[in-house]
Chains A and B, each alone.
Chain A
Amino acid sequence: MGEVNLSQVMDRNRSFVDRVIEESGQDIRQCYQCAKCSGGCPGSSAMDYPPNQIIRMLMLGMKEEVLKSHTIWVCMGCNTCTTRCIRDIQVAAVMDTLRQEAVRAGYVDKAKLVLSFNESFLWTVRTFGRLFEPGMAMMNNLKTGNFMKDMQFGLPLMLKGKASMFPHRIKGRREMKKIFDQVRGGK
């Protein structure tokens, strides 16, 4: 991170910070940087900024740095931070909002693998009503170009009766399609 003129970024990004607070329902301004969230975070060693720093950067209005961070895509949503936050901030919910904001703003370089996984996952849910893992894995591998990822598990899963060649289709598929069509990011 280079030099940052804090009063300028805050002026420029105040509406972004307000929107994150509004969308997540979390008043991040309550944070007093005890860093318990980062101490217990199982993802922190793979992150570029630990969760408490992300919250602090948000409070300072550093929109680009936060949305371009690797951190928001490493977070698995385990909710350890939320559980331990002494100031009652649902940190994991803030991470969800930040991921959605990053996609909306086009900061997706570090998110390619997560986004293609999510898209492949949700595509099967939208189409069949339930997750169809072989379809998801194949679509995900095509999207990422990592064709053999987890393919070693395919045959053993089939042999153990843990994967089916064909998806189960629910009756309410039309309703599912309607739900997906009417929400943002539901393509």
Chain B
Amino acid sequence: MTKYAFYPGCSLETGGIEYGMSSQAVAKALGIELLEVPDWNCCGASSAHMTDHLLSLALPARILALAETLPVTEIVAPCAACHARFAAVEYELGRDEELKQKVNSLLERPYTGKVKLRYYLDIFSNPETLSEIEKKVKRPLKGLKVACYYGCLFVKPPKIVNFVDDPEDPQSMDNIIRALGAEPVQWPYKTECCGASLGVTLEDHCTKLCNDILRFARDSGADCIVAACPLCQANLDMRQVTVEKKYGVSYRMPIPFFTQLIGLALGLDPKTLGFPKLFVDPVGMLKKVGVA
């Protein structure tokens, strides 16, 4: 059984709870073990890296150090912001011994770098797991058109965050969606920014960015936008009603996570996968693939 250290991050237990639920359900169905990092803390996200460089490294380094207590060689973070913070630790502490010692002096358990960061999409889109998924598909998502939305921080900047996907036109999620029997649409906003925390601090601009993403997805013929990051998902899903009001449009575009679609194709119960937790009602999309 393949094992990974699993860092849910704060979102997967709150706003992105359906991402956490579907991740665990799908991993179980595929024989992947996700071991939660014990007593994990928040990675600090952009609030920490805007505030203090050392803080922005020490918070994720504590998590990576705790992951080193688990019987694993790799860690995954389903949230793109958390992923980017882990990548920053590996990149910066990996090439600066002095900085590493400085960060470690703040921690009770030192970070050694022995557990490596793995790109979350890649634990499903690597060739072996992908053929495993293809074999286990019970309910092919035939006819479903999907806009794969990777967000920024899983793929940018490529020198730091991952070495698997193209930062401008990534393919790993597209490959997963194809394996499920659905059709990924060609669209230009795969890695455009959703506005992130500008939803709180400069809402008008965040609304504009989300409107651009939703409009392009709709115009590309997508039935849904599939997300890989809980903050992107929350902006597009929860704030979609704000976008519609401001721009006088109606999208009603469901924003499921990619793990929810994998689960659906594997024949798992939509409830177990957290579909009722989505703000924009996914029932039309589910009907299209013969569920509900």
Chain A interfacial positions (CB closer than 8 Å to B): 23, 42-43, 45-46, 73-74, 76-80, 82-83, 90, 92, 96-97, 99-100, 103, 113-114, 117-118, 121-122, 125, 129-131, 133, 140, 149-150, 153, 156-157, 160-164, 168, 170-172, 175-176, 178-180, 182-186
Pair A100/B53 contact, Cβ less than 8 Å = yes
The answer, yes or no, to whether B202 is at the interface (CB within 8 Å) is yes
Residue of A nearest to B10 (CB): A131
For B42, give its contact among A103, A113, A125, A153 (CB under 8 Å). A125
The distance in angstroms between the C-alpha atoms of A162 and B15, with both chains bound, is: 5
Q: 13 interchain pairs (CB within 8 A)?
A: A46-B205, A76-B197, A90-B157, A117-B201, A122-B47, A125-B48, A129-B41, A160-B277, A162-B14, A171-B39, A182-B106, A183-B52, A183-B58
The distance in angstroms between the C-alpha atoms of A185 and B44, with both chains bound, is: 13
Pair B156/A175 contact, Cβ less than 8 Å = no
For B197, give its contact among A117, A170, A175 (CB under 8 Å). A117
Pair A129/B42 contact, Cβ less than 8 Å = yes
Instruction: List 15 other contacts, CB 8 Å, given A78-B196, A125-B59.
Output: A46-B202, A76-B195, A78-B152, A78-B193, A103-B51, A122-B44, A122-B48, A129-B41, A131-B45, A149-B200, A157-B15, A168-B13, A170-B41, A179-B62, A179-B107
Pair A133/B15 contact, Cβ less than 8 Å = yes
Pair A179/B277 contact, Cβ less than 8 Å = no
Pair A131/B42 contact, Cβ less than 8 Å = yes
Chain B interfacial positions (CB closer than 8 Å to A): 10, 13-15, 17, 39-42, 44-55, 58-59, 62, 84, 106-108, 152-153, 156-158, 167-168, 191-193, 195-198, 200-202, 205, 208-209, 238, 276-277, 279
Chain A residues lying within 8 Å of B42, measured Cβ to Cβ, are 125, 129-131
* Closest Cβ–Cβ distance, residue A129 to chain B (whole Å): 5
Chain B residues lying within 8 Å of A100, measured Cβ to Cβ, are 50-53
Pair A186/B55 contact, Cβ less than 8 Å = yes
Chain B residues lying within 8 Å of A149, measured Cβ to Cβ, are 200
Residue of A nearest to B206 (CB): A76
Pair B14/A113 contact, Cβ less than 8 Å = no
The distance in angstroms between the C-alpha atoms of A186 and B40, with both chains bound, is: 19
Residue of A nearest to B61 (CB): A179
Pair B45/A121 contact, Cβ less than 8 Å = yes
The distance in angstroms between the C-alpha atoms of A26 and B45, with both chains bound, is: 21
For A122, give its contact among B17, B51, B195, B198 (CB under 8 Å). B51
Pair B108/A172 contact, Cβ less than 8 Å = yes
* Closest Cβ–Cβ distance, residue B98 to chain A (whole Å): 13
The distance in angstroms between the C-alpha atoms of A74 and B62, with both chains bound, is: 29
For A78, give its contact among B44, B62, B156, B202 (CB under 8 Å). B156
Pair B55/A117 contact, Cβ less than 8 Å = no
Pair A184/B153 contact, Cβ less than 8 Å = no
Pair A183/B205 contact, Cβ less than 8 Å = no
Q: Which of A78, A99, A160, A171 has the most CB of B within 10 A?
A: A78
Chain B residues lying within 8 Å of A83, measured Cβ to Cβ, are 156-158, 167-168
The distance in angstroms between the C-alpha atoms of A96 and B191, with both chains bound, is: 21
